[in-house]
């Protein structure tokens, strides 16, 4: 049975809690948190990113998150809280669902970069 983007987003939004910028900032202050920007590199270059975030484009997420992958990024650790964002919240929702499917338990979507009210780095 075919699945539409709308259905995929509904499933992702049901699986990955949406949080506010303030909630994300509190989680970051609490420690053991990984913030992931899933936008493409030109988007990040144009606007900057949340301070301390790692940029992993949506297309590489699974490879960076899987410890068995030769492209694994050691910042990805299943014991950490993971906060994702993109430009408007769609890619980060889908990315969060993938991480949940991969065994990451504490995964949250802060939505779009435009929703962030905290520190930014270029």
- 93: Cα within 13 Å, side-chain hemisphere: 20
Write down the H helix ranges in 1-122: 5-15, 21-30, 41-47, 61-65, 90-101
Question: What average pLDDT does the chain have?
Answer: 96
Helices 5-15 & 90-101, crossing angle to 10 degrees? 60
Task: Indicate whether 94 pLDDT > 90.
Answer: yes
pLDDT in tens, 20-29: 999 999 999 9
Q: Tell me the mean pLDDT in the region 2-17.
A: 93
For residue 80, the cross-strand partners are none
Q: Tell me the mean pLDDT in the region 70-79.
A: 97
Q: Which pLDDT does position 34 carry in this prediction? A: 98
d(CA 8, CA 6) in angstroms, rounded, equals 5
d(CA 92, CA 75) in angstroms, rounded, equals 17
pTM reported for the whole predicted model: 0.94
* Tokens read off for 96: 């969060």
Query: Domains plus CATH for the chain?
Result: 5-121 (3.40.250.10)
Q: Tell me the mean pLDDT in the region 87-107.
A: 97
Helix (H) or strand (E) holding 67: none
In this prediction, residue 1 has a pLDDT band, given cuts at 50, 70 and 90, of low
- 51: Cα within 13 Å, side-chain hemisphere: 8
């Amino acid at each position: 049975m075919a699945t539409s983007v709308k259905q995929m987003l509904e499933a992702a939004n049901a699986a990955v809690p949406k949080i506010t910028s303030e909630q994300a900032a509190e989680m970051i202050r609490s420690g053991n948190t990984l913030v992931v920007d899933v936008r493409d590199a030109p988007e990040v270059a144009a606007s900057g990113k949340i301070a301390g975030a790692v940029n992993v484009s949506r297309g590489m997420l699974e490879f960076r998150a899987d410890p068995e992958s030769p492209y694994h990024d050691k910042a990805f650790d299943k014991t950490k809280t993971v906060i994702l964002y993109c430009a408007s919240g769609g890619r980060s929702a889908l990315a969060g669902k993938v991480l949940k499917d991969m065994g990451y338990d504490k995964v949250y979507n802060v939505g779009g970069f435009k929703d962030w009210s905290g520190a930014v780095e270029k």
